[in-house]
Chains A and B, each alone.
Chain A
Amino acid sequence: MEKPVSSIMPEGLGVDHFAGLSPRAWQWTLALVLILLAAALPFALSKYHVFELTMVMIYAIAVLGLNILTGYNGQISLGHGAFFAAGAYTAAILMHRYGVPYWATLPPAALICFILGVLFGLPALRFEGPYLALVTLALALAMPQLLKYFDTWTGGQQGINLVKPVPPAWLDLDLDRDRWLYLVALAVLLVAMRVAANMLHGRTGRALVAIRDQPIAAAAMGINTAHYKTLAFGTSTLFTGVAGALAAIVVGYVSPEGYSLFLSVSFLVGSAVGGIATIGGAIVGGFFIQFVPNLANDISDAAPWALYGLAMLLFMYAMPCGVVGTLGPWLTRSIGRFGPTGR
């Protein structure tokens, strides 16, 4: 066991313990409690609400992917719906044509979307700002057309119907399909957030941020700009592709119309509302994408999208850096002032 810092330091200088636990231990405890709560939640809700929350988590994974690219690396993409679609169709084709079990479709979807992202990221190296937005926009527009065109594989306009998976027999769980898939999505989201945190809070993350803020200075400091930008693109599309595969499994259906430009724009909006360059913001973004359109529809049948737009405006005015990007630092400051560290 490591010796606690406070025992070798004079009182008030080291890391203070609160109720016998270090701040880091408190963080872990809090995270564990939240995870347990999230895992217990589906048993208190109706099937439909469980499905909705599953979609929230799936969107969160996709937004997290976009955040790596747009938030941390400053490359705006209007085309992540296309990679979401690529992941979804990979899963759907593998399950439907080759009878691959659903859980085994996630790694191939991840791999394919990573490769697609890197391939797309290479020419994208030459573009920045609005030019990259145009190129990715073209991708988002082309995707539904391409899916319809290659109809021997994709089922064309009709799309592909899938059977929703049940919990594995060896677990001996008395669970319905929706609640099981909720837990699967939760597990994937947690892994994705952990992986993203490890990557972004380390050397790679600092390199990405440096390239975003000062590309020339970053290159002068010896950061391989092309390498990191392509890596950001590939990782970003990997996350989004996995989210797409999960979505195909959870919804049980894929069709070209489901992956329009609007989906790509929704990811961007979710990323901005949740907080660009934050990891937790992705979850807020997922909630926004899933619930605000429905909410707007409930309030007004006549002009729901006008209300959705108004909600976007209000969020951006009140919190220009996104919910987590604006509230996060404020919370840390307040806790720092009154919290267990006692400073």
Chain B
Amino acid sequence: MHQFLQQIFSGLAAGSIYASVALALVMIYRATDLVNFAQGEMAMFSTYIAWTLVNVGLPFWAAFLITLVVSFLGGMAIERVIIRPVENAPVLAAVVVTIALLLIFNSTAGWIYTYTVQDFPSPFPDRPVLGALITTRDLGVIAVTLLMLVILFVFFRFTATGLAMRAAAQNPESARLCGIPVGRMLAIGWGLAAAIGATAGIMVAPVLFLDPNMMGGVLIYAFAGALLGGITSPVGAVVGGLIVGVTENLVGTYLIASQLKLTVAFALIILVLVFKPNGLFGSAVVRRV
């Protein structure tokens, strides 16, 4: 029983990382109807920025905040410069553009920082607490994720910009007629997604260690989490990400050796989706013909 609870808690810690990246994916999907395959690599690149800042001697949390700002601006710039030209192109063209971004970020990071695996400092000490059910580091990761969710919720619920962004995502034409600068809202959405991803990257780097391929697996689990929860639902993304984290951990511990872990975890998720094709929290899309 103790081991089971331990696995659940460490699953939740991993899951909160997936939940953050899933949330970033959902934000971009809601705004631009596009799955951003470069989300993980953008987060990886942000993490390298934080690593550089820490290495020049900045305190951890200062480096963290500067990275968030830089990532936010970088995300906005990517939307403006790279995504905007294919906004009205066929879907596949946009998908290929995000895949291209993935390759560019991965390769550029390898070029600048080399493919050597780097240590990344954790702001939290690594001690078991609560009767050895969870480590303080995992607890810290979960706490940061929760804090981020609360901030996002407050932003979208109680600020004018948040309201405008929701309007722009839901109905761009009407929003534009109401005088909302839809283009700028999309850019802010990308910026926020990049900052959320950066948080996830910085939180996961002490566990996975930093290298250019660090986020590959995370992105896939986050994608699965986002769809499990329903790609149009932010709450669903978070719940889905957590479920994926716990499932992955339990499957790896109790069901099967790690060789087929990914396969089994995916088979379970797909099984759920067969019965709930729009995800657990997603709404069925109604289309006009």
Contact between A317 and B273, CB atoms less than 8 A apart:
no
Assess the A320–B277 pair: CB atoms within 8 A.
no
Q: Does A269 contact B (CB under 8 A)?
A: yes
Cβ contact within 8 Å between A142 and B90: no
Do the beta carbons of B263 and A141 come within 8 Å of each other? Answer: yes
Cα of A329 to Cα of B263 in the assembled complex, Å: 43
Residues of chain B lying within 8 A (CB to CB) of residue A137 = 220, 223
B110 at interface, CB cutoff 8 A: yes
A127/B289 contact (C-beta < 8 A), A137-B223, A272-B93, A303-B108 known: no
Chain A contacts of B143 at CB under 8 A? none
Tell me the smallest distance from the CB of A333 to a CB of chain B, in Å: 20
Closest to B217 in A: A141
Chain A residues with CB below 8 A from B269, complex form: 134, 138
Q: What are the residues of chain A within 8 A of B96 when measuring CB–CB?
A: 268-269, 272-273, 312, 316
Count how many chain B residues have C-beta atoms less than 8 Å from C-beta atoms of the other chain.
43
Is B196 in contact with chain A by the CB < 8 A criterion?
no
Residue B104 at the A interface, CB < 8 A? yes
Verify if B148 is at the interface (C-beta below 8 Å from A).
Answer: no
Question: Once the chains bind, are B266 and A303 in contact (CB under 8 Å)?
Answer: no
Contacts of B102 in A (CB 8 A): 309
- On whether A217 and B289 interact (CB within 8 A), knowing A141-B220, A141-B266, the answer reads yes
Residues A313 and B97 in contact in the complex (CB < 8 Å), given A268-B92, A320-B86: yes
Report the bound CA distance from A312 to B99 in whole Å.
Answer: 9
The residue that B86 contacts in the complex, of A127, A220, A316, with Cβ under 8 A, is A316
Size range of the chain A interface in the assembly: 35 or more
State the CA gap A135–B220 with chains docked (Å).
Answer: 11
Name the one of B29, B107, B277 contacting A303, with C-beta atoms under 8 angstroms.
Answer: B107
Report the separation of the CA atoms of residues A236 and B220 in the bound assembly, to the nearest whole angstrom.
25
**Is A130's CB within 8 Å of the partner chain B?**
yes
Of B227, B262, B269, B279, the most chain A CB neighbours within 10 A belong to: B227
Once A and B bind, how many residue pairs between them come within 8 Å at the CB atom? 126
Q: Which residues of B contact A126 (CB under 8 A)?
A: 273-274, 277
**Chain B contacts with A in 61-106, Cβ cutoff 8 A:** 82, 85-86, 89-93, 95-97, 99-104, 106
Q: How far is the CB of B218 from chain A (nearest CB, A)?
A: 14
A123 touches B274 (CB 8 A): yes
**B24 within 8 Å of A by Cβ?**
no
A306 touches B111 (CB 8 A): yes
A154 at interface (Cβ–Cβ under 8 A)? no
A138 touches B277 (CB 8 A): no
Chain B residues near A305: list those with CB within 8 A.
103-104, 106-107
In the complex, are the beta carbons of B104 and A309 less than 8 A apart?
A: yes
A34 contacts the other chain (CB 8 A): no
B163 interface residue per 8 A CB criterion: no
- In this assembly, does B259 line the interface, its C-beta being within 8 Å of a C-beta of chain A? yes
Interface of A with B (CB < 8 Å)? 70-71, 76, 123, 126-127, 130-131, 133-135, 137-138, 141-142, 145-146, 148-149, 214, 216-217, 220, 265, 268-269, 271-273, 276, 302-310, 312-313, 316-317, 320-321
CB-CB nearest 3 A-B residue pairs: A320-B89, A309-B103, A305-B107
Q: A316-B93, A317-B86 are in contact. List 17 more A-B contacts (CB 8 A).
A: A127-B277, A130-B227, A133-B35, A137-B220, A138-B224, A145-B263, A149-B259, A272-B92, A272-B96, A303-B111, A306-B104, A306-B107, A312-B100, A313-B97, A316-B86, A320-B86, A321-B93
Pairs A–B under 8 Å by Cβ, sample size 14: A131-B273, A134-B273, A138-B269, A148-B259, A217-B289, A220-B289, A269-B96, A271-B92, A303-B108, A305-B107, A306-B107, A308-B100, A308-B103, A316-B96
